[in-house]
Structure 1
């Protein structure tokens, strides 16, 4: 029987039971992929982050209950929160490395953590019948990024009131679908749906803001933006576009820490 530490952290929130919960599992060495997936499935959260300390930082991977994903913002923020507060880390900057997404830095500034992620590469695409079928409102624009579709709507109330059709969303060849509009009290709002990745609606999706930030920076002609993800738990983010990188800032709260036991 082997024992591994496990943390659960609410990311992109100033208070517990808000933002997006993520599990964080520090490892001394990588376990088999099948076991990593089983642990994530057992945790039954949108994402579980696993990391292994390296000589110059930490290698990190992210799993939903059903698949490994290329990038996850809220679980990276949660992992950094654990390292800063519970793993005897000294310093204010953490260097993560992902085989799928490259170098990912997280910097601590007072009680806020700031993700430094690469900008998503996205392009305009047609609003096809397959896309129209996904929601009860037709978007005014559609884009396809590295992992997700992004659909743009006229106003914030569209994002709040929209009714997703998960059967059709699950058929799209993508990690998931971002929907977004200009915000009333923040620069932009969004929601994120990914039934094809085992996540019906993600409470707060940091990685989606690598697409959202450059899009809204261009539309609003500003590089520093405020954002809100309008899930039931809600998430608050500060975003900054800097050349080919996006800074995504937020806070986090620890929910629990404990151990899991895996039979040899």
Structure 2
């Protein structure tokens, strides 16, 4: 099968979040997709199969299938728009999170996701021990969302990943704060599914966008994820949906031989 690696949420290679994209000519078994994702050893590998009304799309980490992945969706849309159907401007993907639509506008890929506004949750001693911070508030969507006082605190968080993986709540843990030169910043940790720190996490912004939209009283925002690779995410709160946008660069093109 054709295989690509795309640096998502970056206009240059070696930035953003690398995702594998496998172009399927026919569906394959879940076990095989998981084996390929483990062999690729990227935070996410996408598997896409063209059907009459769009595309079937699945995402796998090295250890598990996930229900939503923003950067691998962006990477898949980029490969379709640049390698498979160069004239396409709109794409529709059938996924575990329902129908996801992506629109290409210039260099930006605008992804329409379900909004996942986090709800206030109880702060626990286990969270404090895992993150190494004293914090009074936590919110829960798919992931735990922990707002901090400032950008400096987000940069300086040094989690205990073993303890993070043992937390009862959330698939992952997101720390976030108001940004210094953008609207908000974040870092995202997913040791439960084999990814200690994700470089740039589009799906996390399905929760961060409605949270910061309410806090900042803004519908359109620019965010940065402060991982080592870093990346810029453009966000728009549309009520029950959010638009998460970014750029992408193709790093590798090849074939997987089975």
Name the counterpart of 2:191.
Answer: 195
Question: Does residue 1:95 correspond to 2:92, yes or no?
Answer: yes
Q: Distance in 2 between matches of 1:121 and 1:158?
A: 23
CA contact (8 A) 1:11 1:74 kept: yes
CA contact (8 A) 1:93 1:108 kept: yes
Q: With structure 2 as the length reference, what TM-score do the two structures score?
A: 0.98
CA deviations over 1:32-65 (Å, ceiling 9, x no partner): 1111000000000000000111111101100000
1:43 to 35, 40, 43: 40
Q: Distance in 2 between matches of 1:141 and 1:251?
A: 33
Name the counterpart of 1:64.
Answer: 61
Unaligned 5+ runs, structure 2: none
Q: Distance in 1 between matches of 2:148 and 2:16?
A: 23
Q: CA RMSD in A?
A: 0.9
Deviation at 1:155, TM superposition (A): 0.4
Name the counterpart of 2:133.
Answer: 137
Q: Which segment drifts farther, 38-47 or 174-183?
A: 174-183
CA contact (8 A) 1:11 1:78 kept: yes
Name the counterpart of 1:52.
Answer: 49
2:174 to 175, 178, 188: 178
Runs of 4+ off more than 3 Å: none
Q: How many aligned residue pairs are there?
A: 257
Deviation at 1:241, TM superposition (A): 0.4
The secondary structure found in structure 2 opposite 1:134 is: helix
CA deviations over 1:5-56 (Å, ceiling 9, x no partner): 1000000011110000000001122211111000000000000000111111
1:158 to 134, 153, 157: 153
Deviation at 1:243, TM superposition (A): 1.8
Deviation at 1:121, TM superposition (A): 4.1
Q: Which segment drifts farther, 87-96 or 65-74?
A: 87-96
Name the counterpart of 1:124.
Answer: 120
The within-5 A match list for 1:196-211 is 196-211=192-207
Q: Distance in 2 between matches of 1:61 and 1:22?
A: 13
Unaligned 5+ runs, structure 1: none
CA contact (8 A) 1:193 1:200 kept: yes
1:230 to 222, 226, 231: 226
